[in-house]
């Protein structure tokens, strides 16, 4: 049986009515598994969205036997919105810190970001083709690794932080239309090794699914079709959790009514996994995830990172409270109350 997505945006989770017959609170059966998926059904001989049968309501039976109907806000998706995602993980004292950053934008915005990243690379290394090297924050920030790297060794140590500040300028320049989303979780890890592994796996799924569910709900609400490109930082074949994270959200949950509410009755493509840094937005996602994790980790001991979260401008932050709920806020920082001290 597929795992149910553990997270719903509040707007969906709060849907309820009072039963006409007995007056009790009734909610849609989000998590009952249905026989068929809640995606558009295309009659024979038709293509595309036109003529498709779309789920626009769902019925729940109350304990008293009466039926209550709930409308599903179905949307026709008109344009694409692209999301590029990368992750960072750290051990902070007895916590595992998980961070997943998504850089989002319409085609025009993404193109602008691509140009800005290229220009920034030319500025720091004018003699090297910007297409020939990728930003990998961990290696660039580690002075030992940097001097051994074929390209990074040409960047002097005093130019490293200004380079990343240049990256944050690109974020802030585009923040007015920002679709950037970041999901984080501090997991208080059990000391038992095996328990910790299971705990971590569940935590990753929650943080990841919350992120994708939120992105799907927000874009489809605006009649945009989300397309996800994610960094396959580890070989996919050897690491099924990477696929599991995403495919649970798409395939498993298509048989849950929650999926129809999340996607506004649309069929959303499964994410594409690509080589690390193979798109400028993946490079920026790497930069954000790295510094978000570094900031949060440092703040647990009242220290500061070289670059603060504020410099990245406006983000939608999702913060895991427990394995079933997330807090959500839009702004340029994560308040201290979410950081263990
Ligand atoms: Zn009733």
Say whether pLDDT at 243 is over 80: no
Q: What is the mean pLDDT of residues 106-115?
A: 93
Other Cβ atoms within 10 Å of 187 Cβ, number: 21
Complete DSSP assignment for 98-123: EEEEEEEE-HHHHHHHHHHHHHHHHH
In angstroms, the CA 282 to CA 294 distance is: 18
**64 Cα–ligand 1 center, Å:** 4
Which tens digit of pLDDT belongs to each residue from 123-163? Answer: 999 999 999 999 999 999 999 999 999 999 999 999 999 99
Q: How far is CA 133 from the centre of its chain?
A: 25
CA dihedral of residues 138, 143, 149, 155 (deg, nearest 10): 100
Residues with CB under 5 A from ligand 1 (ion): 19, 21-22, 62, 64, 66
7: phi > 0 → left, psi -120 to 50 → alpha, else beta; which?
beta
Give which of 152, 160, 108 is closest to 128, Cα–Cα: 152
**254 Cα–ligand 1 center, Å:** 28
Which tens digit of pLDDT belongs to each residue from 162-181? Answer: 999 999 999 998 877 789 99
**142 Cα–ligand 1 center, Å:** 62
**8 Cα–ligand 1 center, Å:** 25
**69 Cα–ligand 1 center, Å:** 12
Question: What pLDDT shows up at residue 291?
Answer: 97
Q: What is the mean pLDDT of residues 96-121?
A: 94
**38 Cα–ligand 1 center, Å:** 26
Question: What pLDDT shows up at residue 241?
Answer: 46
In angstroms, the CA 245 to CA 201 distance is: 9
* Angle (deg, nearest 10), helices 280-299 and 107-124: 80
Question: What pLDDT shows up at residue 105?
Answer: 94
Say whether pLDDT at 28 is over 80: yes
**Contact (CB, 8 A) for 165 and 133:** no
**223 Cα–ligand 1 center, Å:** 35
**65 Cα–ligand 1 center, Å:** 6
pLDDT band at 39 (very low <50, low <70, confident <90, very high): confident
Mean pLDDT rounded to a whole number for the chain: 87
**204 Cα–ligand 1 center, Å:** 38
**257 Cα–ligand 1 center, Å:** 20
Domains of the chain with CATH codes: 79-110+175-338 (3.30.420)
Say whether pLDDT at 35 is over 90: no
More confident residue, 260 or 243: 260
Other Cβ atoms within 10 Å of 298 Cβ, number: 16
**24 Cα–ligand 1 center, Å:** 6
Give which of 146, 109, 143 is closest to 125, Cα–Cα: 146
Say whether pLDDT at 240 is over 50: no
Token code pair at residue 320: 């895991």
Question: What pLDDT shows up at residue 246?
Answer: 54
Give which of 85, 97, 10, 101 is closest to 317, Cα–Cα: 101
In angstroms, the CA 165 to CA 120 distance is: 10
Provide, rounded to the nearest whole percent, the portion of the chain with pLDDT above 90.
59
Give the helix/strand (H/E) hosting 87.
Answer: strand 79-92
**40 Cα–ligand 1 center, Å:** 30
Q: What is the mean pLDDT of residues 31-41?
A: 78
Question: What pLDDT shows up at residue 319?
Answer: 94
């Amino acid at each position: 049986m597929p795992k149910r997505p553990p997270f719903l945006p509040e707007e969906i989770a709060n849907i309820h009515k009072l039963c006409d017959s007995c007056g009790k609170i009734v909610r849609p059966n989000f998590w009952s598994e249905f026989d068929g998926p809640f995606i558009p059904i295309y009659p024979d001989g038709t293509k595309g969205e036109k003529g498709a049968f779309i789920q626009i309501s769902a019925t729940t039976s109350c304990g008293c036997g009466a039926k209550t109907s709930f409308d599903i806000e179905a949307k026709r998706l008109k344009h694409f919105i692209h999301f590029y995602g990368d992750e960072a993980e750290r051990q902070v004292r007895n916590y595992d810190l998980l961070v997943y950053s998504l850089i989002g934008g319409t085609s025009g915005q993404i193109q602008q970001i691509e140009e800005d990243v290229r220009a920034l690379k030319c500025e720091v290394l004018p003699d090297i083709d910007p297409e020939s090297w990728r930003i990998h924050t961990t290696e660039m920030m580690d002075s030992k690794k940097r001097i051994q790297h074929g390209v990074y060794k040409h960047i002097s140590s005093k130019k490293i932080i200004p380079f990343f500040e240049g990256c944050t300028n690109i974020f802030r320049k585009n923040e007015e239309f920002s679709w950037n989303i970041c999901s984080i979780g501090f997991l208080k890890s059990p000391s038992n090794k095996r328990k910790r592994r299971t705990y971590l796996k569940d935590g990753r799924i929650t943080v990841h699914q919350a992120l994708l569910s939120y992105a799907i709900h927000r874009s489809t609400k605006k009649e945009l079709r989300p397309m996800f490109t994610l960094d396959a930082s580890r070989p996919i074949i050897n690491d099924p959790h990477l696929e599991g994270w995403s495919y649970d959200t798409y395939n498993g949950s298509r048989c849950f009514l929650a999926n129809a509410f999340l996607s506004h009755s649309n069929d959303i493509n499964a994410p594409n996994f690509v080589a690390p840094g193979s798109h400028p937005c993946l490079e920026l996602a790497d930069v954000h995830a790295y510094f978000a994790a570094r900031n949060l980790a440092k703040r647990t001991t009242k220290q500061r990172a070289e670059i603060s979260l504020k410099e990245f401008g406006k983000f939608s932050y999702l913060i895991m409270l427990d394995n079933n709920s997330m807090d959500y806020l839009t702004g340029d920082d994560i308040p201290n109350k979410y950081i263990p001290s």
